[in-house]
Amino acid sequence: MATEIINLELTELSLVGKGANQFAKAPIFKADDGDVEKMTDEQQAEMDKMSSAMKKKMNEYMKGGMSYDDAKKRCKQEMTEKMEEENQRLRKALLDNGFVIKADAIEKKVEEESVEYDGETITKSDDRYELVMKLKAKEEAERDAQIEKQVQETLPNWDADVAKSILKMDIDEKVLAALKAADAAFEAVMTEKGQSDVDGDLTDPMAALEKRQEELMEQKGISKQAAFAEISKTAEGRAMINKAYYEKD
């Protein structure tokens, strides 16, 4: 008696010279690609001008049953959506990087004026901006007054602007002591009338210090006080000052 096999799934069907069962039957189906609309000559010419990617999409939609016009409309819609997504991405990138997008131009955003006060950044559009600026101006004026008073008390023989710029810096007590000692000697140094040896005795600490001052004055076109200030900024210079004013026999 013949056996009927059900729920059998065929994974491969091959043609052979002679089958094991010449009476066996197997179903064969032809693929249905859908009713592809035949394009007009005008449509074919238009499609020939499309990019490879566009043609591929058009063929996919038309094989799926779409007409030429519907496939073309769908492709344009997808292209518009992609362009809009890219536009939004670029727009966000520009805005995040401080650009301003106008109807006819893209410009770099001008940074708003701001001021740091008490650890906070106050922008010009802030209602507190004008008040903060006035407070800072008042504090600066008070600071300048204090510095000018300190100059008169500690460095009266220095050039006022040079002395103010030095005292505004964060200098330690040793440097300040050296500056005071130099101030006490400035009046005599500045009124000296010539010298017998142009180079001086460089074994003398004071002569070496004065020689260095003269070199800086010539190199940078600065005053003697400013040259002294330059020397006092380095450890080597401070040692020279100390030796000239504090280590005399």
Q: Mean pLDDT in the chain?
A: 78
Q: Is residue 170 part of a domain?
A: yes
DSSP character for 1?
A: -
Query: Using CA atoms, how far apart are residues 176 and 242, in angstroms rounded to an integer?
Result: 11
* pLDDT tens-digit readout, 76-108: 999 899 999 998 998 888 888 878 888 788 887
149 & 232 share domain: yes
Q: Which range among 57-71, 127-141, 144-158, 234-248 has the greatest average pLDDT? A: 57-71
Q: What is the pTM of this model?
A: 0.34
Domain count for the chain, please give it. Answer: 2
Q: Is residue 122 part of a domain?
A: no
* pLDDT tens-digit readout, 177-224: 888 777 777 655 555 544 444 444 446 788 888 888 888 888 888 888
Q: Which range among 77-86, 160-169, 225-234, 235-244 has the greatest average pLDDT? A: 77-86
Q: Is residue 20 part of a domain?
A: no
The pLDDT score that the predictor gives to residue 15 is: 72
Q: Is residue 23 part of a domain?
A: no
Query: Using CA atoms, how far apart are residues 183 and 225, in angstroms rounded to an integer?
Result: 9
91 & 166 share domain: no
Name the domain boundary from 50, 76, 99. 99
Query: Using CA atoms, how far apart are residues 60 and 58, in angstroms rounded to an integer?
Result: 5
Q: Are the CB atoms for 135 and 122 separated by under 8 Å?
A: no
Q: Are the CB atoms for 175 and 232 separated by under 8 Å?
A: yes
95 & 151 share domain: no
**Which structure tokens are listed for 227?**
């040259």
Range of the domain at 229: 137-191+199-246
* pLDDT tens-digit readout, 4-54: 777 767 677 677 777 777 677 766 665 555 555 678 889 888 988 988 888
The pLDDT score that the predictor gives to residue 199 is: 45
Q: Is residue 213 part of a domain?
A: yes
